[in-house]
Amino acid sequence: MTKMSLGSHPYLLGFEQLERLLERSAKSGNEGYPPFNIEQTSENSYRITLAVAGFAEAELAVTLEDRQLVIRGRQSEDGEGRIFLHRGIAARQFQRSFVLAEGVEVGEAVMENGLLHVDLTRAEPERVVQRISIKKG
């Protein structure tokens, strides 16, 4: 039996880009840090929340790169001159990526109590019915 990919299925025409998006999201290299939630806040809106305790707003970057929401964090090393007897809170960097569907727009990003909230909205697609005329050949 031959393995059939999404883009080569005979009834799914033009979905090659969707297959590439799935591959890209699988290879995005997201680790388990920082933990995050994704919630649906209404029929056409979502909120991504990342636990970024210890990060200042200036140490975080939220960008949209080719339909991919990328959230990066890089803490500055301020341990110079300090002597730690135990260091359980590490200053580490991270990158989280989320592939967005066509029509999903990024709203605002808000930092609140160590949580970064990024709001997303999905535009309702316009329903179009088009009649195609048949010509004699």
Segments of the chain assigned E as strands: 36-42, 45-51, 60-64, 68-73, 94-99, 104-112, 115-122
Report the C-alpha gap between 105 and 42 in whole angstroms: 14
Nearest CA among 7, 44, 1, 40 for reference residue 23: 7
Would you state the structure tokens that stand for residue 136, as one six-digit string?
Answer: 């004699």
- Residue 57 is predicted with a pLDDT of 94
pLDDT at 14: 73
**Which of 47-56 are b and which e, b meaning 16 or more Cβ less than 10 Å from the residue's Cβ?**
bbbbebeebe
- Every domain range in the chain assigned CATH 2.60.40.790: 31-122
Q: What sign results for the dihedral spanned by CA atoms 38, 41, 45, 47?
A: negative
Residue pLDDT tens, the chain, 137 long = 555 666 566 776 776 776 776 676 666 555 688 999 999 999 999 999 999 998 999 999 999 998 899 999 998 776 678 888 988 877 789 999 998 988 899 999 999 999 999 999 998 878 899 999 999 97
Alpha carbons within 13 A on the beta-carbon side of 115:
12
* Nearest in space to 49 (alpha carbons), one of 59, 61, 37, 64: 37
Whole-Å CA distances, 21 to 6, 64, 71:
11, 14, 18
CATH class of the 31-122 domain in this structure = mainly beta
